[in-house]
Amino acid sequence: MSSHRFSFRLYACRSIGLTLLYLGLVWSPRLFAGGKSEPPSAKSTDQEMLVVASTSWVAAIARAGGAENIRILAPVELKHPPEYELKPSDLTAVSKADIILYAGWEMFAEKLAETAGSAKVQIVQVNTSNKPEDLKTEARKLAERFGTLERFEAWSRDFDRLTEELRPRILAAYPDRRAIVQRMQTPFAAWLELDIIGEYGPAEPSAAVILELVQLNPALVIDNYHGPSGQPIAEAARAPYAELLNFPGKDGTVTIEDLFRYNADVLIQAAGR
């Protein structure tokens, strides 16, 4: 009887040991699918680094910072990318990334952060704003992470030249600079040095708010293409109306420079109508 008990205990110990060994292999951080044993900075070249960006806006900032290998989760053709729902293929891409960039206001932000955490992938929150100084600040921060400061500096110089050329062209079309602006476009309008006499949104303005804004007699109404609601204000005030972009994608826009050229063209064309 004692011999049978000894054999049973030996078998049980061996079984437990094998089970623990199996679990150790499966859940080891270095062997877990998508796990990263080294930070992005340890890559030999930045071209090898896979950057996953939540939206085209975040991707454009990463590109300004010097990133080249970028995967965008929300399709660029979506009018309102933050409403995108992640697919299983997106989560697979996230697990294979070297670094994930997001703004934090995306509807899928929580799921993205959870996936990044479980896959041991670095995730960085990016401040999105279409004010040039804000864009340069965020792009520089990313360049420092990517190790691409020289590339960022070259981009920054070219971007400064572009904005210095565009702003006077836009303002020349609006000798009267009194503008009512959708809040998501306020940083851009403030950079232009427009006289922002009223704001609305991002929710659709009520009839009372529309009446109040119309009475301010604006010379321009700036709306947000990704959630427009200001056309009734412009029509009632008989003012030029311009829908501006925050997310690249429309009409082939990709970069921050594309975004600024597009918005400048829209504003100048609106003034001539």
pLDDT in tens, 63-93: 999 999 999 999 999 999 999 999 999 999 9
122 — phi, psi (to 5°)? -65, 135
β-bridge pairing 51-53 and 99-102: parallel
Reduced to 3 states (helix: H, G, I; strand: E, B; else coil), residue 106 is coil
pLDDT at residue number 167: 98
pTM score, whole prediction: 0.82
Burial 134-145 (b: 16+ CB within 10 A, else e): ebbebbbbbbeb
The CA distance from 107 to 45, in Å, is 33
DSSP character for 42? G
Q: Is 29 exposed, middle or buried (0-12, 13-18, 19+ CB in 10 A)?
A: exposed
- For 25, the token pair is 């292999």
> Are the C-beta atoms of residues 268 and 170 closer than 8 Å to each other?
yes
Residues in the chain: 273
Which CATH superfamily, name and number, covers 40-152? Nitrogenase molybdenum iron protein domain (3.40.50.1980)
Least confident of 31-35, 159-163, 188-192, 198-202: 31-35
- Residues contacting 157, CB < 8 A, separation 6+: none
Domain boundaries, the chain: 40-152, 169-271
Reply yes or no on whether the pLDDT at 42 is more than 80.
Answer: no
> Are the C-beta atoms of residues 69 and 101 closer than 8 Å to each other?
no
| Mean pLDDT computed over 52-65 | 98
Least confident of 37-51, 60-74, 171-185: 37-51
The CA distance from 175 to 230, in Å, is 22
169-271 has the same fold as 40-152: yes
Q: Which CATH number fits domain 169-271: 3.40.50.1980, 2.60.120.330, 2.40.50.140, 3.10.129.10?
A: 3.40.50.1980
